[in-house]
């Protein structure tokens, strides 16, 4: 059996190594148009910033190591320019010799990945505008920084690559402005959760401009001027374009393969395309969202590696299926961590899922053990069946392990209340006896069983201030004086029983505290005395972060806002 693989990064490299483990006699050829294979896409920004110092650490394998260990013929700087599915041949262009030849196959794996999205804007061809997708891109940016010593940079796009690049450029001594078209960074997060990230970005000295469209580029001397839709401009020594990726499927389209969303390659659960003996994996393919069952694109390394393995199993006579992805992802933003799995609110709405949400702010470990930090957990569940459908966490320590537990719970089809029963490891330096994941289940159970009713930050503005409802803040007087929501009257929870006569009966009572715990206790006291009480989900800490985020979404900030610890 002769297998040809087009693309030698995550999906392609995973497929070829697996094929060799299953079939020692197979003839395997990889064609990779860049000069590198099996490289760490996710590590590229950290080489720019000097966190990864040795460029050799970016490449997990080389053509020579693949040949030695797996007996695989790897040909870099070879671009496959056409596929003939009838004759089962590919046409290959050797970039170094400029010669073209044909190669036959019995099985073909397409793993072309995705290319950086480059909008058609005036001045986009300026040689000081960079993208970051390949090892060559990384070396080009690094060489530019070491040679030119830029003072100012503009990063366009607030996704994973944009944020990581902005942080690493800043650590290289470059003043950074980050421009994002949407009203918040990290589209995987909801606006409210992204507000914590905004504060971290601003606190560390990056000028953040949200809700701003770039309209084009001009030159001023050797510098690039970034022009925006509000009529302003930013001048910089360099620009990094990070506005997303587009499935690189021109080859598949030319071959007549069936395409899906955004021109992606349509595959079945065995990673087979519409052509016999042709498979496709990685960022270029359309897959199924595990939670919704709908078609989607998930350009992440984890799914690409899994898909490569599944394609290899099926090529070698097995029967493996890909069950979809839920988009679990995580990012370091300076000393903060943001993570997500499953659906956010926008995705749940698009899928037509009737959902409820809870927001909690637990400590990363036992409160009496030094060094605990606050994390914010937002969980979404299906109101009809109680299943957990999504989670977002922003914080410092322990975010990674909690998001992985919640990702596993979604994959297992667990109800949000099932989180209560998870037997999770506990010791004071690592967790609490009721882990934040358990607490997520407890809070949801209180809502589902009617022990507490809740309201959310996006309902605060529409609450009447005409006396028809009673708004109460149960924090201490000192906390209240340091900041409170408009119209909320301060009655500390410890004084509530003595001052309950100040709360009029017959009116709904909306209660807030710092994290949601004291206001929950107040609601339990009041509801057992006949009051119609609503607890604010997330607490004043969450409310304050979102209000700051609203301001940040409409203004440019160079620095100065603090993130909670």
333 backbone dihedrals φ, ψ, rounded to 5°: -120, 95
Sort 79 into a burial class: Cβ within 10 Å, 0-12 / 13-18 / 19+. middle
CA distance 132 to 413: 37
Distance of CA 352 to the CA centre of its chain: 22
Q: How many CA atoms within 13 Å lie on the side-chain side of 361?
A: 21
CA distance 401 to 431: 11
State the DSSP code for 451: S
Tokens of 385: 């069946």
Cα(473)–Cα(489) distance, integer angstroms:
6
Q: Token pair 């995987």 is at which residue? A: 188
42 tagged catalytic: yes
| Paired tokens of 470 | 């009673």
Count of CB atoms situated within 10 Å of the CB of 421:
9
Q: Is the Cβ–Cβ distance between 359 and 156 less than 8 Å?
A: no
Nearest C-alpha neighbor of 555 from the set 232, 257, 298, 208: 208
Separation in Å, CA 251 to CA 84, 119, 323: 10, 21, 26
Q: Classify each residue of 369-397 as buried b or exposed e, where b means 16 or more C-beta atoms within 10 Å of its C-beta.
A: eeebbbbbbbbbbbeeebbbbbbbbbbbb
Residue in 42, 195, 523, 559 annotated catalytic = 42
Please state at what angle helix 436-448 crosses helix 399-411, rounded to 10 degrees. 50
Sheet with 107-110: list strands edge to edge.
Answer: 73-76, 27-32, 2-6, 107-110, 278-280
Q: With H, G, I as helix, E, B as strand and everything else as coil, classify residue 90.
A: strand
Distance CA 563, CA 74 (A): 48
Helix (H), strand (E) at residue 179 = strand 175-179
Specify the DSSP element, H or E, that contains 287.
Answer: strand 285-288
Buried/exposed 283-319: b ≥16 CB within 10 Å, e otherwise: bbbbbbbbbbeeebbbbbbebbbbbbbbbbbbbbeee
Helix (H, G, I), strand (E, B) or coil at 91: strand
* Radius of gyration for the chain, computed over Cα atoms and rounded to the nearest angstrom: 27
Which of 302, 299, 277 has the alpha carbon at shortest distance from 287?
Answer: 299
Neighbouring C-alpha atoms within 13 Å toward the C-beta of 549? 23
Active site residues: 42
């Amino acid at each position: 059996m002769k297998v040809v693989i087009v693309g030698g990064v995550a999906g392609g490299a995973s497929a070829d190594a697996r094929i060799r483990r299953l079939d020692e006699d197979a003839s395997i050829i990889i064609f990779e148009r860049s000069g590198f294979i099996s490289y760490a896409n996710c590590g590229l920004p950290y080489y720019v910033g000097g966190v990864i110092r040795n460029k050799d650490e970016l490449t997990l394998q080389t053509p020579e190591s693949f040949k030695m260990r797996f007996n695989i013929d790897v040909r870099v700087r070879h671009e496959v320019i056409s596929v003939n599915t009838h004759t089962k041949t590919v046409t290959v262009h050797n970039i170094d010799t400029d010669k073209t030849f044909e190669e036959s196959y019995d099985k073909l794996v397409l793993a072309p990945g995705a290319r950086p999205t480059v909008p058609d804007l005036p001045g986009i061809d300026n040689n000081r505008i960079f993208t970051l997708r390949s090892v060559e891109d990384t070396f080009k940016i690094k060489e530019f920084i070491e040679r030119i010593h830029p003072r100012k940079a503009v990063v366009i796009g607030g996704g994973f690559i944009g944020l990581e690049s902005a942080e690493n450029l800043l650590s290289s001594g470059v003043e950074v402005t980050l421009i994002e078209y949407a009203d918040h960074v990290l589209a995987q997060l909801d606006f409210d959760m992204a507000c914590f990230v905004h504060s971290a970005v601003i606190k560390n000295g990056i000028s953040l401009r949200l809700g701003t469209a770039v309209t084009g580029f001009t030159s001023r001397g050797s510098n690039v001027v970034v022009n925006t839709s509000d009529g302003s401009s930013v001048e910089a020594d360099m620009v990094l374009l990070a506005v997303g990726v587009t499935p690189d499927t021109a080859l598949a389209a030319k071959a007549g393969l069936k395409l899906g969303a955004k021109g992606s390659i349509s595959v079945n659960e065995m990673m087979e395309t519409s052509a016999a003996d042709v498979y496709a994996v990685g960022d270029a393919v359309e897959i199924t969202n595990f939670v919704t069952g709908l078609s989607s694109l998930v350009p992440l390394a984890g799914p690409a590696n899994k898909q490569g393995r599944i394609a290899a199993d099926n090529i070698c006579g097995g029967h493996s299926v890909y069950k979809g992805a839920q988009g679990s992802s995580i990012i370091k933003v300076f000393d903060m961590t943001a993570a997500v799995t499953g659906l956010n609110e926008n995705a749940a709405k698009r899928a037509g899922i009737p959902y409820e949400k809870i927001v909690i702010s637990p400590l990363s470990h036992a409160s009496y053990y030094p060094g605990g930090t606050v994390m914010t957990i937002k969980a979404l569940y299906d109101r009809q069946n109680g299943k957990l459908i999504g989670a977002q966490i922003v914080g410092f320590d322990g975010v990674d392990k909690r998001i992985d537990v919640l990702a596993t719970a979604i994959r297992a089809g667990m109800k949000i209340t099932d989180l209560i029963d998870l037997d999770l490891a506990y010791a004071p330096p690592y967790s609490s006896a009721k882990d934040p994941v358990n607490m997520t289940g407890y809070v949801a159970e209180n809502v589902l069983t009617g022990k507490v009713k809740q309201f959310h930050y996006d309902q605060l503005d529409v609450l009447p201030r005409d006396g028809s409802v009673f708004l109460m803040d149960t924090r201490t007087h000192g906390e209240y004086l340091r900041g409170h929501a408009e119209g909320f009257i301060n009655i500390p929870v410890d004084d509530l029983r003595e001052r309950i006569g100040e709360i009029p009966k017959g009116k709904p009572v909306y209660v807030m505290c710092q994290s949601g715990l004291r206001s929950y206790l107040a609601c339990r006291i009041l509801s057992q005395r006949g009051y119609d009480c609503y607890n604010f989900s997330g607490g004043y800490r969450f409310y304050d972060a979102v209000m700051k985020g609203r301001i940040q979404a409409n203004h440019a900030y160079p620095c100065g806002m603090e993130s909670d610890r």
